[in-house]
A and B are shown apart, each in its own frame.
Chain A
Amino acid sequence: MISGAAKKEHIFLVASARRSINILLPLAIILVLFSLASAQKKSSCIECHSKLEDTRLSGPAKAFDNDIHHARGLSCNDCHGGDPNADTKEGAKDPRKGYLGKPKTLDIPAYCGKCHSDANLMKRFNPSLRVDQEREYYTSVHGKLLKSGETRVATCISCHSVHGIRAITDPLSSVYPSNVAETCSKCHASADYMRGFKIPSDQFDNYKKSVHAKALYEKQDLSAPTCNDCHGNHGATPPGIASVANVCGQCHARQAELFQVSPHKAAFDQRQFGECIKCHSNHFIAKPGDEMIGMGEKSVCITCHTTGDKGFIAAGAMRARIDELIGSVDKSTEILNRAERAGMEVSRPKFDMKDSTDALTHARVLIHSSSTAEVDKVVAPGLAASAKGYQAGLDALAERSFRRKGLAVSLVFILFLATLVYLKVRQIERHQNESANSA
């Protein structure tokens, strides 16, 4: 039993404890709720670093807002280790808490690969993402050079940036299709930087002039190829001399197909010409024109072929066929346009001319077979369609002149009739006058 004085003290203590609890408990509940309510876990790294004056230190913290890892609920410690709950530099960057610090260039692929090569882990975030980027990277020129100790090559962060990494579907991402070439050229377009690497630095300049760049940048066609479509992204390597047609053939399937079975394949591979590149170049791929084939001075055929050899003759023959079709199509289009300008309705024959313009496109593709017979196979029906169009144009013009002749005849009748009526009027009035005078 508690004595009187102790009882008083006891009562006092209990009362004050109760008072404290009355104040502290709600406060604690509020604090807990508050910290639960805030979406992000506490990150002392971000809190401290974003307040620092040196932009090298505050930059990453601020950029991290836009990072896709941040959006997925990850923070600095998930890559760099350390303790995000500690409020001191030493506590946060404690190596015993797993703090790794800034990785060395040679270690970057493994750093990122810690997660990105772990299928079980990546499954939790995005099951469709590949997990072999690190492995692929080491097959690339960049990876091989890195392994040999060269640190001036691209690593993960060179292309994807670091701390502000955006999803690849985000148009602001450095690896979004329309941004890829610029990202690669950060290094590759600088002759200074590329010194010692024995490859040119004019690829981006050349690419910018190409048909593909025009499609990608001007027409906003995201399916148009950029650096990674031909070179690969993580496994970036120029395609082998004997595999170029396969690479181009991803889109230009027909041309590649024809080339593979043509006599040029063996000849080009043996001489290490680089297949498609020999005639079309690799980066400055210009819109091909008919002058590229044949015996003229702009032709690519005469680079190797000379007068009299089989190739030379075939080149000339194929060009002649194409020129014949072009001539026919031009003639037919011209007469149909003439008929249209003259007011005749020729929309159907004009539509049917698509067959011959299509044939022309096909013929230009079929030259990759190096076979005049193959080209002939499409040129012949093309010429037939074009002839039909020409005939339609002739018919339209004939109808027009028939109408004009009909008009001339009817006008003669009409004028004659008008004259007769006029004479009749005169005759009637003469009689009226006479009868009036005689009356």
Chain B
Amino acid sequence: MVLSGWEGESMGDISRERRGENPVYPDRPGTSRRRFLDYLLGTTATATLGAIVYPIFKFMSPPQVIESTENSVVAAKLSEVPVNTGKIFKFGNKPGIIVRTSAGELKALSAVCTHLECIVQYRPDTKQIWCACHNGQYNLSGKNIGGPPPRPLEEFKVNTRGDDIVVSRS
């Protein structure tokens, strides 16, 4: 088979070109222009390469917020949730509530009321979870014990890691 790729007319001698030498007139006026073009080419190419490599390196270095996962989240700090209070936090794209009971125990539940999706709150006076919209009540395990809510609140797992309260799906 004819390997037609390697034959035929060609357009110039590479090796001399690579050496940067003008083969016929070494001191032709084009030399300085060529050198200028080469210089410009070199610097622009380096700059562009840098503009490509820079974002890549920044991308690879870990960002401030390390993890993306919805399965567990640092809901709050222990210092932010005193005894007998509750705090709302973001879990994925739904709100959750952390409750620290008067016994000091931590509970984490979904904060979306199962009646009409208002956000529930912790009532330190009744020590229950309450929905202000239509007087729905839940106990601290999330069970719906009063008012319109038809289903309990989903309960999450709570762990502490130092001062962090970590909430994860059960």
Contacts and interface: CB of A to CB of B under 8 A. Distances in A.
* A–B proximity contact (CB within 8 A): yes
Contact of A436 (B11, B22, B149): B11
B51 A221 contact: no
A348 B51 contact: no
A423 B41 CA distance: 9
Contact of B90 (A348, A414, A416): A348
Most A-side CB within 10 Å, residue of B11, B47, B51, B134:
B134
B22 A431 contact: yes
A417 B119 contact: no
Q: Which 4 A-B pairs have the closest CB atoms?
A: A432-B12, A223-B148, A253-B135, A251-B134
B90 A254 contact: no
22 contacts: A221-B115, A223-B147, A223-B149, A224-B148, A251-B134, A252-B134, A253-B132, A351-B90, A351-B93, A358-B119, A361-B133, A362-B132, A410-B51, A413-B44, A417-B44, A428-B12, A428-B17, A429-B12, A431-B12, A432-B12, A433-B12, A436-B12
Given A223-B150, A254-B132, A354-B119, A416 B93 contact: no
A280 B11 CA distance: 93
A427 B12 contact: no
B48 A427 contact: no
Contacts of A424: 37-38, 41
Interface in A414-439: 414, 416-417, 420-421, 423-424, 427-436, 438
A250 interface: yes
A361 B33 CA distance: 73
Interface in B95-125: 95, 115-116, 118-119
Contacts of A432: 11-13, 17
B23 interface: yes
Given A417-B41, A435-B23, 7 more contacts: A223-B147, A249-B135, A413-B47, A420-B45, A431-B12, A431-B17, A434-B24
A11 to B, nearest CB: 81
B48 A414 contact: yes
A409 B91 CA distance: 39
Contacts of B38: 424
B157 interface: no
A225 to B, nearest CB: 10
B95 A354 contact: yes
B77 interface: no
Given A420-B44, A432-B17, A435-B13, A251 B148 contact: yes
Contacts of A354: 95, 119
A365 B132 CA distance: 10
Given A254-B132, A354-B95, A436-B12, A413 B34 contact: no
A253 to B, nearest CB: 4
Contacts of B53: none
Contact of B147 (A251, A365, A423, A438): A251
A215 to B, nearest CB: 8
Contacts of A223: 115, 134, 147-150
B11 A429 contact: yes
Contact of A421 (B11, B41, B132): B41
Interface in B9-55: 11-13, 16-17, 22-24, 30, 34, 37-38, 40-41, 44-45, 47-48, 51
Interface in B47-72: 47-48, 51
Contacts of A413: 44, 47-48, 51
A347 interface: yes
Contacts of A433: 11-12
Interface in A222-277: 223-224, 249-254
Given A358-B119, A428-B17, A416 B44 contact: yes
Contacts of B133: 361
Contacts of B40: 420
Nearest to A413: B48
B112 to A, nearest CB: 11
Contacts of B12: 428-429, 431-433, 435-436
Contacts of B115: 221, 223
A98 B96 CA distance: 65
B105 to A, nearest CB: 27
Residue from A249, A358, A362, A421 having most chain B Cβ neighbours under 10 A: A358
A433 B16 CA distance: 14
A251 B135 contact: yes
A429 B17 CA distance: 10
A246 to B, nearest CB: 12
B131 to A, nearest CB: 10
Interface in A291-311: none
A347 B44 contact: no
Interface in A11-36: none
Given A432-B12, A435-B23, A436-B12, A250 B37 contact: no
A420 B135 contact: no
Contacts of A252: 134-135
